[in-house]
Each structure stands twice: as C-alpha cells, then as structure tokens.
C-alpha cells in the first residue's frame, strides 16, 4: 500500500483523522521507515495536537545514536519546511508560523528559519522588537559564518524598517551587513529605510546610524552622503554633519550635485551656528553655482536631482535682506524645477489642467472645498499656529481637507487634533503623484500650501497644480513657483512695492496674516538665582536656532549689553553649543563685555515649558535679517517687550507686523542705530518696560493677533473672493 501518497492526500485535504490512521498503519507495517513518524506528527500538529506530535517525534529520536539523530532531525526539518512553505502559499500564516516555531526548537541556529518567523510575526502583527534578541537571530547574524539567504535577509530588513523604529532593529541591520555581498541591494533597502526613520518616525539619530552602515557597504557613495549629512544635522551631531557635507562637496562631479552638496554644507554650518566666516564664503560659492544652473537651464533633468534643487535656495534670507535679488534667484531656479517636474509627469499635469478648467467654469453653489497641504500637522511651529484656522473654520460653508505629507502616527496631541478637526484627513507618504492625485480626486477648489520651499515634496506637488487655485500661507515666504496664484500677507509684513518682485499675487488680509487665540503655558524651570543673576539685573533674551544668528545683529546686541549696567544676555536655541559660545564670546570680548554676562541656556523638554521660561526675561532681542515668528508671538503673548529690526523681506518684517497688531510701537527699529537705542531705552527705563507690558496685557482682549476666529472669517472671505475671481 502507498502509505505516503494516501496519507499525504488526506493531510492536504485536511482530513487529519484519516491521515493519522493511515500513518499508524504504516508505522505498524514499516516501523523502520522514519518518514511515517514525521508525517504522522505533522498531521497531529495540524489537527491541533501539538504535544502529541512532539511525543511521536521524541520517541523516535530517543532510540537513535547521535549521528542518527542528526540525520533524522534534518529529515524532520525538511518535512516541516515543505509544509510551512505550503501553508504560506495557502495564506495560512498562523499555521506556517507555528510550524516554524517547531523548526526553531529542532534547529535553533537556522538563521533563515528565524528570519521567516520574524517576517510572519510582522505579517500577523505580533512582532515585538525584543524578538530580534530573544530569538537568537541577532546573535546568530553576528556570527559571520552563519548561512543566510541574502534575498530573504534583505526582505526581512525592508519589512522591519517599515515599522516604528527601535534600536534593536538598527542592531539587526548592522549584524546583517556582512551577510549581504551585494552592496547595491543592501544600500537600496537600508537607505530607503533610513529616510522613513528620519521623516516618519522623527528619529534622525537612528537614521544616521542606518546611513552609516550604507556608507560602510559603499564608501564615499554620494547618494548616501547626501542623506547622511542632514541626518547628522537634525540629530545635533553638528561636527559630523559638516564633515559629511564637506566630503560630498569634494566628491560631487556635476553641477546639480555640486549645488546640492554646497547647500548641505551651508545648512550644516548655519545649523551649528558660530561658523560665520566659513558660511559667508560657502554662500558666495553656492550663489555662483545656482547662477550656473540658471544659465544652463537643464531640462530635462532627472527627478532626484530636480528634487534636490528645490531645497537649495533656502538660506539667502538668513544672510541678507535683499528680496529682489533673493527672489529673482528663487523664481529662476524654480522655473527650471517646475519645467522638469511637468516634463517627467506630463500626463498627470495635463490631466490636472483639464480638471482645473472644468472646475473654474463651474458656478459651485455647494461648499467650497479647501485643502491644506503640509508635513507639519503636529507639534511644530506651523502646526501650533495653523490649527486655530482649522479649529474655527465654518464647516457649513467650507469642506476642509488636510493632506498630511510624510505621515506617521505619533503620540502627539496637535496631530490628533488635526485628524479630528477636518472633514477629511488624508494621511499620505512622499510620492508626489499619489499626493497630487489625492488632491485632484478630492476635487479641491483652493489648495493652501503651508510648507513653501521648506519641503521638496510639496514643491513638486504644487508645480503640478492639482487644484485650480493654489495659495501659499504661513510656512515661509512665497515659494516663487509659477503655478501658485496667491501669497497671503497683510498691510505690514511686506512693503507696498513688493508686488514688483513677486510672481504670485500678494493677497493682503486687512490686519494680520496670522492670529492665534493664545498658547498653552507650562511651569517655568528657570530662576534668576539658579543662574546667578541678581534680582535687580536687567535680563535680555534671544531664543532662536543657529540659522538666525547673524554676526552683524549679534554685534548690535553686544553694544546694547555694554551700554546697560547690571545686564545679562540669555542665549537659547538649537545649535552647536560650543560653536555658539565661541561665536558670542569672541564678539563680547571685542565689544568689551564681560563674558560672564552671557548665559547659554539648554533646551527644555516641551514648548509649554519654553514659553513659561520666557518670563525670566525683561526684554527679548529679535534677530535680523530673519526675525522670529512663532517665538515673537510667544514673547508678546507672555507680555515681554521686544526689540526688532525691520527690513524689506518677509522674514525681516514678521515681528513688525505682530507689534503693529498688538498696538506697540516701542521696540520697532528701522536702522541698526534705532535697534541699539531701543535696546538701551527698554533696558534702562523700567517705567517704559512696565508701560509696554501693560499694553501687551490689554492686547489680549482687543488685538486681532489674538482673535483667531475673526482671522478665520477674513481668510474665508479671501477664499470666496479668490474663487469669485477665478
């Protein structure tokens, strides 16, 4: 009798009782054929009699010599492997997982089986990062002589890196590296994973470790260096970020790469703060490279290089208040980027234009569909501010869509509020066409970009114009992309002549381009006595990141400090603390200011504590040519006088419009000399400070800056007028 065939047919047909009965007959007739035992145990296992299955197998093993047991174990594993694969093909993941657990007991060092178990646990959503360690997988891979199937290993890494990141996952990638003889495949999987870790999980330090492994696999690979430098910078590993960007500059061999590499170096220097002279030199080189691109007008250009070019225009406003030149560079470069984006996605672009023409011709008696696109719908400056508009929208008149870019669910109250407020919350990734299709398919009438040029993904989407009317608001200055129709401003934040050098139509709201109902404030953690500051001292504060630390403005701040006896200067913000200390110390010594009057504050755990700690200051000294924005709003909400230098560009007029909107003229300076004068006056005249504080206190009840509901009605009227003008 063909016991094997008949028994296996019953097993495949899930007739386990009959299969077991046949295998019992086979064992009685042919007790020396061990495969009968293996298959009978398998039938018992599939029937759910796990203990009985193990007993059948152990009874056989107990009779053999060590060499026989090894041979029999290999036979049993082969049977179980075949069945696990069959169950996997059938879509019975839980059964396959259970079978592989038995293989693991028989062969705990089988790395390929452990990898498949891990993959099954991810599929079944039972994965625990600790499994990487407790299963023996990590230790086994660290033994470099282990036999590992490379495609299976890379598949596992790809699946793991799609999950919320854990340090053990990073350890797994490092242990896998010696078992991946094809560096290109390894880098492709891990570098994409590192980007997800950085942008979705918001853990740039772990992303940097992953990129380091890629660099180990492919030393001096430019693609890896381009990603690694920003990871270092975002994780405050400033020296490594600068060094990596310098290496990218050395290796870049074509114009687009040279532009992007110089941008990364400039970003690293400015992020760190304190590298002023080198940053000036790099900026000059960077501008010369951008001018070469504008002259060459490379169309077509591959999409990767094009995306990188979108980001490279970012820093000129931090160095100089020359909006005509800065915007000309920006608009010329973006004309090239937009042409490339449309060239590579011509079918989609034409489809959107056809849809937009139809939408513009409709009378649209229903609610206007308003879409907001942003990657910052969470605890971020843009996220904090924009939520008031979304919160107060009239949902009877407007259908509100939020397009979350690079979305990752996180434990974040602001993100949760956004998800609940909108009519539709679209949680999206980074694929520009998928995002643009989502916008177009949602039939959005007016699309508002909150990112401007701070995210290349958003720039690419806006270049395709998936909505008939497109607007930039809040996140930065206007982008200069030709497919954007309007830029939201107010009577103060841009000078009257600004329209001459803006491609977008400047839409000025009647009072302010931003309003909030207030800020959450925590419990302060700073006290003067803890910092060694006398109670009667005058305390100045500057709380800005390294980008905004302009040498000329810092010199003005030192002159104020020099002129005001018994004064101290608190300096806070994300930057390389050693570099920033050296930067300010050198300026203080040159101005004759005692260095012990400079106090450098560490970061705090939350925004609410940061706002509470502002109360330690008597006066806040603003930055120029790039003012504070959210920091200015927080300063005024906390009732603290502010000294600002007003310029021509949008970034140099944020504090000006906010002071005008709270009815405070004190502290508004139009020249360097006035900046110093106001700093000294507010520092030496306690009565004046008290008067300003009282104005700020009263403004909470009267100012349009603190009336987000009224502001929302003004934005809604603007949307309706934009649609009427279509």
Sheet of 486-489: strand order equals 424-427, 398-404, 368-374, 446-449, 469-472, 486-489, 505-508
Q: Do 502 and 532 fall within a single domain? A: no
* Terminal alpha carbon distance of the chain: 84
Question: What are the helix (H) ranges across 252-322?
Answer: 255-272, 276-296, 303-311, 316-319
Same structural domain, 371 and 487: yes
CA distance 548 to 402: 30
Averaged pLDDT for residues 285-299 = 96
| Residue range 388-404: mean pLDDT, rounded | 97
What integer pLDDT is reported at residue 545 of this predicted model?
85
Residue 2 pLDDT greater than 90, yes or no: no
In tens, the pLDDT along 711-720 reads 999 999 999 9
Task: Tell whether 484 and 574 lie within a shared domain.
Answer: no
Claim to verify: residue 553 and residue 626 sit in the same structural domain: yes
Q: Which of 143, 149, 144, 74 is nearest to 119 (CA)?
A: 149
- Give a yes or no: residue 167 inside a domain: no
Do residues 515 and 708 lie in contact, with contact meaning Cβ atoms separated by under 8 Å? yes
Q: How many CB atoms lie within 10 A of CB 150?
A: 14
Which residue has tokens 């509901």? 709
pLDDT for the residue 477: 95
Q: Is residue 221 part of a domain?
A: no
Residue 566 counted as domain residue: yes
The CA R_g of the chain, rounded to the nearest whole Å, is 32
Q: Is the pLDDT of residue 699 over 60?
A: yes
pLDDT, tens only, 496-546: 999 999 999 999 999 999 999 999 999 999 999 999 999 999 999 999 988
Q: What is the pLDDT of residue 625?
A: 97
pLDDT given for residue 38 in this prediction: 95
Same-domain pairing of 355 and 484: yes
User: Same domain for 467 and 588?
Assistant: no
User: Please, which residues have CB within 8 angstroms of residue 587's CB and are 6 or more apart in sequence?
Assistant: 551, 554, 555, 558
Predicted confidence band of residue 364 (pLDDT cuts 50, 70, 90): low
497 and 611 together in one domain: no
Mean pLDDT, the chain, whole residue set: 95
In 3D, which of 686, 680, 656 has the Cα closest to residue 668?
656
Backbone angles phi, psi at 508, to 5 degrees: -95, 120
Q: With respect to residue 235, please indicate whether it lies within any of the assigned structural domains.
A: no
Tell me which residue of 272, 265, 233, 231 sits closest to 248, measured CA to CA.
265
pLDDT at 193: 95
> Do 532 and 504 belong together in one domain?
no
Least trusted range by pLDDT, from 9-23, 584-598, 639-653: 9-23
pLDDT tens per residue, range 433-463: 999 999 999 999 999 999 999 999 999 999 9
Look up tokens 């009798």; give the residue.
1
How many angstroms separate the CA atoms of 429 and 433, rounded? 11
Neighbours of 69 (CB within 10 A): 14
Q: Residues 544, 498: one domain?
A: no
Q: Which residue has the higher pLDDT, 634 or 63?
A: 634
Q: What is the residue-wise DSSP string for 371-429?
A: EEEES--SSSHHHHHHHHHHHH--TTTEEEEEEETT----S-HHHHHHHHHSSEEEE--
Which of 15-29, 261-275, 354-368, 480-494 is predicted with the least confidence, judged by mean pLDDT? 354-368
% the chain with pLDDT above 90:
89
For residue 221, pLDDT beyond 80: yes
pLDDT at 542: 97
Residue 146 has pLDDT above 90, yes or no: no
**Would you state the structure tokens that stand for residue 635, as one six-digit string?**
């300063």
Q: Strand pairing partners for 446?
A: 370, 469
The arithmetic mean of pLDDT across residues 284-303, rounded, is 96
pTM for the predicted model, two decimal places:
0.90
Nearest to 88 by CA among 67, 114, 116: 116
> What is the per-residue pLDDT for 93?
87
Indicate whether 636 belongs to any domain: yes
Task: Check residue 201 and give its pLDDT.
Answer: 81
* Domain, as residue range, for 651: 528-706
Domain count, the chain: 2
Q: Which residue has the higher pLDDT, 678 or 92?
A: 678
Element (H, E) at 711: helix 708-724
- pLDDT beyond 80 at 362: no
Strand order, beta sheet including 619-621: 598-601, 567-572, 538-543, 619-621, 642-645, 668-669
Residue 555 resides in a domain: yes
Which of 26-30, 246-250, 564-568 is least confident? 26-30
| pLDDT reading at 1 higher than 60 | no
State whether 494 and 617 are in the same domain: no
State residue 673's pLDDT score: 98
Residue 78 lies in a domain: no
Domain co-membership, 461 together with 359: yes
pLDDT value at position 628? 95
Q: Can you give the CATH number for the domain in which 383 is found?
A: 3.40.50.11380
For the cut 90, the answer to whether the pLDDT of residue 200 exceeds it is no
Average pLDDT of the segment spanning 299-323: 94
Please enumerate in sequence order all residues whose Cβ is within 8 A of that of 334, keeping only pairs 6 or more positions apart, or say none: 310, 313, 453, 459, 463, 479, 480, 481, 482
Asked if residue 344 has pLDDT above 70, the reply is yes
Query: What CATH number does the domain containing 541 carry?
Result: 3.40.50.2000
Query: Looking at the structure, do residues 592 and 477 belong to the same domain, yes or no?
Result: no
* Residue burial 566-575, b: 16+ Cβ < 10 Å; e: rest: ebbbbbbbbb
Residue 336 lies in a domain: no
Q: Does 138 score more than 90 pLDDT?
A: yes
């Amino acid at each position: 009798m063909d016991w094997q065939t008949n028994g296996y047919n019953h097993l495949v047909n899930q007739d386990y009782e009959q299969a077991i009965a046949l295998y019992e007959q086979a064992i009685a007739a042919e007790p020396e054929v061990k495969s009968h035992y293996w298959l009978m145990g398998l039938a018992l296992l599939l029937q759910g009699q796990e203990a009985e299955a193990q007993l059948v197998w152990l009874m056989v093993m107990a009779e053999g010599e060590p060499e026989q047991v090894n041979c029999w174990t290999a036979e049993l594993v082969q049977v179980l492997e075949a069945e696990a694969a069959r169950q996997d093909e059938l879509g019975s993941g839980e059964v396959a997982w259970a079978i592989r657990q038995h293989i693991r007991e028989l062969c705990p060092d089988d790395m390929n089986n452990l990898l498949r178990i891990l993959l099954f646990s991810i599929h079944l959503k039972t994965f625990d990062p600790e499994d990487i360690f407790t299963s023996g997988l990590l230790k086994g891979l660290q033994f470099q002589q282990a036999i590992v199937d490379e495609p299976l290993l890379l598949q596992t890494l790809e699946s793991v890196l799609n999950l919320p990141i854990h340090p053990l996952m990073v350890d797994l990638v490092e242990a896998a590296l010696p078992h991946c003889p094809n560096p290109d495949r390894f880098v492709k999987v891990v570098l994409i994973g590192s980007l997800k870790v950085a942008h979705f999980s918001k853990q740039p330090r772990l992303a940097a470790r992953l990129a380091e492994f890629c660099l180990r696999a492919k030393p001096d690979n430019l693609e890896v260096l381009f990603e690694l430098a920003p990871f270092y910078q975002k994780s405050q590993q400033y020296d490594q970020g600068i060094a990596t960007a310098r290496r990218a500059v050395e290796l870049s061999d074509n114009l687009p790469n040279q532009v992007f590499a110089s941008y990364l170096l400039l970003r690293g220097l400015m992020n760190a703060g304190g590298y002023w002279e080198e940053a000036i030199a790099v900026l000059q080189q960077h501008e010369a490279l951008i001018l070469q691109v504008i002259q060459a007008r490379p169309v077509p250009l591959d999409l990767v290089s094009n995306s990188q070019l979108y980001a490279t225009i970012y820093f000129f406003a931090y160095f100089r208040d020359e909006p005509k030149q800065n915007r000309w560079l920006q608009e010329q470069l973006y004309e090239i980027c937009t042409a490339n984006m449309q060239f590579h996605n011509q079918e989609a672009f034409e489809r959107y234009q056809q849809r937009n023409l139809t939408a513009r011709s409709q009378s649209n008696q229903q609610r206007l569909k308003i879409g907001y696109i942003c990657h910052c719908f969470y605890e971020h400056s843009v996220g904090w501010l924009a939520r008031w508009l979304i919160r107060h929208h009239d949902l009877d008149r407007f259908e509100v869509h939020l397009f979350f870019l690079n979305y990752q669910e996180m434990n974040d109250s602001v993100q949760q509020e956004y998800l609940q407020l909108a009519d539709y919350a679209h949680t999206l990734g980074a694929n520009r066409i998928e995002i643009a299709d989502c916008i177009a398919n949602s039939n959005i009438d007016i699309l508002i970009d909150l990112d401007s040029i701070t995210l290349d993904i958003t720039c690419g989407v806006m270049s395709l114009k998936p909505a008939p009317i497109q607007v930039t608001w809040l996140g930065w200055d206007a982008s200069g992309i030709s497919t954007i129709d309007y830029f939201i401003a107010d009577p103060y934040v841009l000078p009257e002549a600004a329209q001459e050098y803006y491609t977008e139509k400047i839409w000025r709201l009647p009072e302010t381009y931003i309003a909030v109902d207030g800020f959450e404030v925590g419990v302060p953690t700073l006290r003067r006595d803890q910092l060694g500051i006398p109670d009667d001292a005058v305390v100045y504060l500057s709380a800005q990141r390294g980008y905004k630390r302009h040498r000329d403005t810092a010199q003005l701040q030192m002159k104020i400090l020099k002129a005001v006896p018994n004064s101290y200067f608190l300096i806070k913000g994300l930057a390389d603390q050693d570099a920033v200390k050296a930067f300010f110390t050198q300026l203080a010594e040159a101005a004759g200011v005692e260095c012990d009057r400079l106090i450098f504050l560490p970061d705090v755990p939350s925004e609410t504590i940061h706002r509470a700690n502002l109360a330690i200051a008597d006066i806040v000294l603003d930055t120029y040519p790039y003012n504070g924005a959210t920091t200015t709003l927080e300063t005024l909400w906390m009732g603290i006088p502010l000294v600002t230098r007003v310029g021509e560009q949008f970034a140099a007029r944020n504090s000006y419009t906010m002071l005008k909107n709270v009815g405070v003229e004190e502290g508004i300076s139009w020249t360097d000399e006035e900046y110093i004068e106001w700093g000294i006056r507010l520092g030496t005249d306690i009565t004046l400070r008290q008067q300003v504080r009282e104005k700020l206190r009263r403004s909470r009840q009267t100012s349009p800056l603190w009336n987000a509901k009224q502001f929302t009605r003004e934005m809604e009227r603007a949307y309706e007028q934009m649609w009427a003008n279509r």
